[in-house]
């Protein structure tokens, strides 16, 4: 990553922090202490998730996920890291996660409207019994295109499973640990 790219990431990150703080400041100025408490709780949870993400030892995946909302103008993605995952520090897993998630999002982009804002969630979990990672990506308001999504993804990610759920479409990707 070039220094300019690092500065760009930091600039977007700082912008996001300022947005959060301005919301809290606005609620404080209006005397809405319950809203302040709610926003603070959400922000602290977000920072805890980010800490888990960064401590996984998957720098490419962490960077891809942290930058996601600033690089995809019509998507807003939240994320959760589940399980007692120790630092992975595997470039194989890191590369596989970035490839799989990028492929899913790129395929979503091909079947969604550029003028619509979509909200989604990504969760990463470790299956200790089967020694594999599972990524679950869900996106709201694209549920009618599940067959098109599944067909497009099967060529590139054979392990992907597409789920059509109430008001959302989701994909589950399994990545086997090579350790």
pLDDT digits (tens, 9 = 90+) for 59-83: 999 999 999 988 898 899 999 988 7
Closest by CA to 19, choosing from 74, 69, 79, 68, is 69
**Both structure tokens of 19:** 């947005």
Q: What b/e readout covers 149-170, taking b as 16+ CB neighbours within 10 angstroms?
A: bbebbeeebeebebeeeeebbb
Phi, psi (degrees; rounded to nearest 5) at 172: -115, 130
Q: What is the mean pLDDT of residues 38-53?
A: 90
CA distances 85 to 122, 128, 132, Å, are 16, 9, 11
Closest by CA to 64, choosing from 27, 22, 106, 113, is 106
Q: What is the mean pLDDT of residues 107-132?
A: 86
Tally of residues, the chain: 179
- Residue 34 — very low, low, confident or very high, per pLDDT cuts 50/70/90? very high
Put residue 17 in one of left, alpha, beta given phi > 0 → left and psi -120 to 50 → alpha: alpha
Catalogue the E-assigned strands of 87-131. Answer: 118-127
Q: Determine the pLDDT at residue 27.
A: 95
What is the pTM for the complete model shown? 0.84
**Contact of 154 with 107, CB cutoff 8 Å:** no
């Amino acid at each position: 990553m070039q220094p300019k790219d690092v500065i760009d990431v930091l600039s977007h990150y700082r912008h996001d922090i300022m947005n959060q703080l301005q919301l809290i400041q606005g609620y404080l100025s209006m005397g809405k202490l319950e809203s302040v408490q709610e926003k603070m709780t959400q922000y602290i949870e977000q920072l805890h998730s980010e800490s888990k993400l960064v401590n996984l030892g998957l720098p490419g995946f962490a960077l891809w996920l942290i930058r996601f909302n600033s690089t995809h103008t019509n998507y807003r993605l939240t994320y959760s890291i589940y399980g007692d995952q120790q630092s992975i520090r595997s470039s194989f897993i890191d590369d596989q996660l970035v490839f799989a998630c990028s492929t899913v999002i790129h395929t979503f982009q091909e079947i969604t409207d550029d003028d619509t804002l979509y909200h989604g969630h990504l969760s990463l979990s470790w299956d200790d019994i089967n020694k594999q990672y599972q990524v679950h990506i869900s996106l709201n308001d694209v549920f009618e295109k599940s067959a098109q999504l599944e067909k497009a993804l099967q060529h590139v990610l054979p392990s992907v499973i597409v789920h059509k759920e109430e008001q959302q479409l989701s994909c589950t990707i399994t990545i086997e640990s090579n350790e």
